[in-house]
Structure 1
Amino acid sequence: MKKKFIVVLGGGESGIGAALLAKKNGLKIFLSDSGIILNKYKKILVENQIPFEEKGHTENMILKAIKVIKSPGISRENILIKKINFLGIPIISELEFGKSYLNSSYIISITGSNGKTTTSSIVYQILKKDGFHVGIAGNIGNSFSKEVLKKKEFYVLEVSSFQLDDCFNFRSNIAVLLNITRDHLNIYKNFQGYISSKFRIVTNQNKEDIFIYNYDDPIIKKELKKYKILSHCIPFSIKEELKVGAYIKWNNIFFRKKKNKKEICLLNIEKISLKGDHNLYNILASVIISKILNVKKKSIIHSLLDFSPIEHRMEKVLNINGVQFINDSKATNVNAVFYALKSMNSPTIWIVGGKDKGNDYSELLPLVKKKVKFIIFLGKKNKKFINFFQDFIDIIIITECLKNAVRIAYILSMPGDNILLSPACSSLDIFKDYKERGHKFKQEVKKIFYEKNRYFF
């Protein structure tokens, strides 16, 4: 009798991690990708003797699997996925598959429309500094399944809505919901569908677990009333002093674990290198996690003081003749751009655009009127963007070339200006991902710097 096998759909980071974990645990595995698998991943598959295919799916084989592990990038509306569902073959997420091989590890999952990467990185750094045996994975770095092979005691997971869509039994000891703003509406049928995806992070928790949420977020506040949440809820706020949770008062971070308990003052926010309201929310969520896990106060403080902004998120690239270039390529939705523009203290030339995700740009209008001198639209289809802003900005440039966007921005700039790449859109119309877009932006900025200074080298 033939040994039953499992199929992994998708040969990216999550698919490769799932295939490795399955192979190491003696399962018969087959990986299939409709596109081209990167050479670095092919090498892993070959070295571990994992059979695979690319540039198409062999349906006759896939539909004989006993289980399918689906990469989050594959839509549930995909024809092959519908056929798998029709035949009753179980489809599970890579997160659930990874967790099935952990007996006692503590799971901290972090989601939200914005701030997931920063918050996950802060928490990881704090726990590591305090001596925790901790790994970081999910939508950041390695896939969860790959990290599971390392058998850490604690895992910090950055979790996207696409990953949560495929989670039915995945449970976190600590779940964090940072915010919910309009995003991915080119994928979800409506905003409520996206909201429901985000709330999956809490629905499988039990009364022993912790749910940390943004008290200031109106959508989270409203949606909380619809769910029967069993876990212990702890909020954070930068606007109000809370009876329980983390908050800002007198420019200091405070935490109160229980009602009527004495508040603990941790740190003055002026000392922290991460600036902006959006980062304060990330920091407060991180503080709550740290206090729940009894991290030493000095480890929290030192980590926050040492933490640097993550790459592609409000990253200061170079100042050339008084003009500051800022790489915010990770800002792929309106809310992220809102906080980027809000933090601008000088006249700004804004490089924006890409693949629209069903955005509503009206939230940005007051900030654009106040802070933006010129707009440079970068992308193939920016008609919606252009139509919205053309009556409010005198100079609008349209280009499909990042090199042109950067050079035009510099030509239009004056000393004291900011040139901000903060796209509000996905990069997929021109680039592989936001990282490639950010790296190429930085390369073009550096070329200008060396051209301007070549006689001094």
Structure 2
Amino acid sequence: MRDKWQHIGILGAGESGVGAALLAAKQGMKPFVSDMGRLSDTAREELQSAGISFEEGRHSIAFLKGCDLVIKSPGVPPVAEVVSALREAGTPLMSEIAFAAHFAEAEKIIAITGSNGKTTTTGLTAHILQSAGLRAPAAGNIGRSFARILAEGEEADYYVLELSSFQLENAGGFRPHIAALLNITPDHLDRYQYDLGRYALAKLQITAAQQEGDFFLYWEDDPHTKTFFEAFAKQKTLHAQALPLSLEEDAQENHFRVEEAAYSLSNSGLMGKHNLLNAMFAIRIALLAGLSPNAIQAGLDSFVNVPHRLEKVAEIDDVLFINDSKATNVDAVRYALDAMQRPVVWVAGGTDKGNDYSLLEPLVREKVKALICLGAENGKLMEAFGNVLTNVEEARSTDEAIEKAMRYAAAGDVVLLSPACASFDLFENYEHRGDQFKESVYKLLSLQKR
């Protein structure tokens, strides 16, 4: 199939699109990048340096229809006008992940998806493998795109890929040797016509093309995951060996067993029961990759979690500040609140994604003493908790949010940024939001030291 690919259209000039363009050029193809927005300076310079043609501010649909293949970046919605036009014209569409996989050995691909926990699990899996001496770069929705890693010619024993539902769209034929589905909870439903089944179907594409000898790990305690996986398996013949994971009833936060071996998270800095489950997935993947329990425990002991996931920022006057900006849906916040052992001043808000905040009410009543709504439009959040909490305020910046949080925080409390929402109203992305939060905390810390 790939022998027939010469003229390659690429929708979107983000990390996925630029990576796909670089890989296509390396393979002797003629890529053309098309973006409705304005290219970043970095993307423009990379494409120009590689001699790759591009356009910005428009999509030349007639030209794209004539391409042998069009690669759709995950940020381009499936209902976009250009996507609909290409479908009607019969132009083949493919995701960057599926395109890149044509140039890698399937046996080296580890793919991890889920509504929550996938970044931590991907980072932890890659770290455990790397600490055992294996070349195992993390890529996909974390750091560099899969296509970029292949374009750069990086040697690997395994590629550890974090994949969102967006990246799994148009990923027909994508075959990882080890696939993991951590959970399915309502998220990004605005993209899937507010239909959880459509969202779940996108996630389950991670196992659709697996073959005998491959492995599919999933959390059987999660009712959505179990229900949708069983329905998917009835509709489609699946070939991978399914390996369900379950939390032991007697498992404690830092100590648990996987396949009869005991493991501990005491030295890892990972907080909460949800991270115990993330670790169980990473351990099972590492065992499938041939690592010993001792090598895995060494990796757990040396792991430092990636930023913006229950990241301890600083402690000021015995008030702990935690940055959990990656918590962009209700379930992620539920995990964060459940992990808190101190009274919480909760900083939340942003671009609502069809959230049902009632799911958080029991934990909010139990653990939260004040809510600071950090967003451009906070009406829904304030309405949800206005009758639950006495102390609810609004903020339009992280400086203002920290200032107001400190009015309610006392010694022994925690100020937790765990937004439950996307970040695009006031910030560029969740990293920008988390970095701004940390900067505001550091400003306060420097004032306290004067």
Q: Could you list the per-position Cα deviations for residues 183-233 of structure 1 after superposition, in whole angstroms to 9, with x for gaps in the alignment?
A: 111211111111111111112112211011112111112223213332111
State the distance in 2 between where 1:55 and 1:403 align: 34
Q: Could you list the per-position Cα deviations for residues 114-140 of structure 1 after superposition, in whole angstroms to 9, with x for gaps in the alignment?
A: 111111111111111222232221101
State the distance in 1 between where 2:188 and 2:291 align: 36
Q: Secondary structure at the match of 1:186?
A: helix
Specify whether residues 271 and 436 from structure 1 end up closer, same or farther in structure 2 by C-alpha distance, changes over 3 A only: closer
**Which residue identity is paired with 1:380?**
A
Deviates more, 1:293-302 or 1:313-322: 293-302
Whether 1:165 aligns to 2:163 is no
Whether 1:98 aligns to 2:100 is yes
**Which residue identity is paired with 1:64?**
G
Whether 1:372 aligns to 2:368 is yes
Q: Does structure 1 conserve the Cα–Cα contact (< 8 Å) formed by 2:265 and 2:301?
A: no
Q: Does structure 2 conserve the Cα–Cα contact (< 8 Å) formed by 1:252 and 1:265?
A: no
**Which residue identity is paired with 1:343?**
A
Whether 1:196 aligns to 2:201 is yes
Q: Does structure 2 conserve the Cα–Cα contact (< 8 Å) formed by 1:180 and 1:219?
A: yes
Whether 1:205 aligns to 2:210 is yes
Q: Secondary structure at the match of 1:374?
A: strand
Whether 1:63 aligns to 2:65 is yes
| Residue number in structure 2 paired with 1:259 | none
Whether 1:254 aligns to 2:257 is yes
| Residue number in structure 2 paired with 1:230 | 239
State the distance in 2 between where 1:393 and 1:441 align: 23
2:406 to 392, 395, 410: 410
Specify whether residues 170 and 382 from structure 1 end up closer, same or farther in structure 2 by C-alpha distance, changes over 3 A only: same
Specify whether residues 115 and 79 from structure 1 end up closer, same or farther in structure 2 by C-alpha distance, changes over 3 A only: same
Q: Does structure 2 conserve the Cα–Cα contact (< 8 Å) formed by 1:266 and 1:301?
A: no
State the distance in 2 between where 1:405 and 1:275 align: 24
| Residue number in structure 2 paired with 1:123 | 125
Whether 1:309 aligns to 2:311 is no
| Residue number in structure 1 paired with 2:388 | 392
Whether 1:290 aligns to 2:295 is no
**Which residue identity is paired with 2:158?**
F
State the distance in 1 between where 2:393 and 2:253 align: 44
2:191 to 184, 187, 194: 187
State the distance in 2 between where 1:317 and 1:269 align: 20
Count, aligned residues: 439
Q: Could you list the per-position Cα deviations for residues 26-74 of structure 1 after superposition, in whole angstroms to 9, with x for gaps in the alignment?
A: 1111111111211112111111111111122223322322210110110
| Residue number in structure 1 paired with 2:38 | 36
**Which residue identity is paired with 2:98?**
E
1:214 to 205, 216, 219: 219
Q: Does structure 1 conserve the Cα–Cα contact (< 8 Å) formed by 2:254 and 2:276?
A: no
Specify whether residues 104 and 79 from structure 1 end up closer, same or farther in structure 2 by C-alpha distance, changes over 3 A only: closer
Deviation at 1:169, TM superposition (A): 1.0
Q: Does structure 1 conserve the Cα–Cα contact (< 8 Å) formed by 2:319 and 2:410?
A: yes
| Residue number in structure 2 paired with 1:260 | none
Specify whether residues 290 and 40 from structure 1 end up closer, same or farther in structure 2 by C-alpha distance, changes over 3 A only: same
Specify whether residues 32 and 275 from structure 1 end up closer, same or farther in structure 2 by C-alpha distance, changes over 3 A only: same
Deviation at 1:93, TM superposition (A): 0.6
Deviates more, 1:267-276 or 1:298-307: 267-276
Specify whether residues 4 and 250 from structure 1 end up closer, same or farther in structure 2 by C-alpha distance, changes over 3 A only: closer
Mapping 1:266-277, distance limit 5 Å:
266-270=262-266, 272-277=268-273
**Which residue identity is paired with 1:53?**
E
State the distance in 2 between where 1:233 and 1:332 align: 29
| Residue number in structure 2 paired with 1:339 | 335
| Residue number in structure 2 paired with 1:145 | 147
Q: Does structure 2 conserve the Cα–Cα contact (< 8 Å) formed by 1:214 and 1:220?
A: yes
| Residue number in structure 2 paired with 1:111 | 113
Q: Does structure 2 conserve the Cα–Cα contact (< 8 Å) formed by 1:216 and 1:239?
A: no
Deviation at 1:4, TM superposition (A): 5.0
| Residue number in structure 1 paired with 2:347 | 351
Q: Secondary structure at the match of 2:137?
A: strand
Q: Could you list the per-position Cα deviations for residues 292-338 of structure 1 after superposition, in whole angstroms to 9, with x for gaps in the alignment?
A: 11112222011101112220011111111111111010000011100
Q: Does structure 2 conserve the Cα–Cα contact (< 8 Å) formed by 1:323 and 1:418?
A: yes
Deviates more, 1:59-68 or 1:385-394: 59-68
State the distance in 1 between where 2:326 and 2:444 align: 22
TM-score (norm 1): 0.93
State the distance in 1 between where 2:59 and 2:209 align: 33
State the distance in 1 between where 2:216 and 2:208 align: 10
Q: Could you list the per-position Cα deviations for residues 72-129 of structure 1 after superposition, in whole angstroms to 9, with x for gaps in the alignment?
A: 1101100111111111100111011101112465111000001111111111111112
**Which residue identity is paired with 2:428?**
K
Deviation at 1:413, TM superposition (A): 1.8
TM-score (norm 2): 0.94
Specify whether residues 158 and 109 from structure 1 end up closer, same or farther in structure 2 by C-alpha distance, changes over 3 A only: same
Q: Which runs of 5+ in 1 are unaligned?
A: 242-247, 257-263
Specify whether residues 153 and 407 from structure 1 end up closer, same or farther in structure 2 by C-alpha distance, changes over 3 A only: same
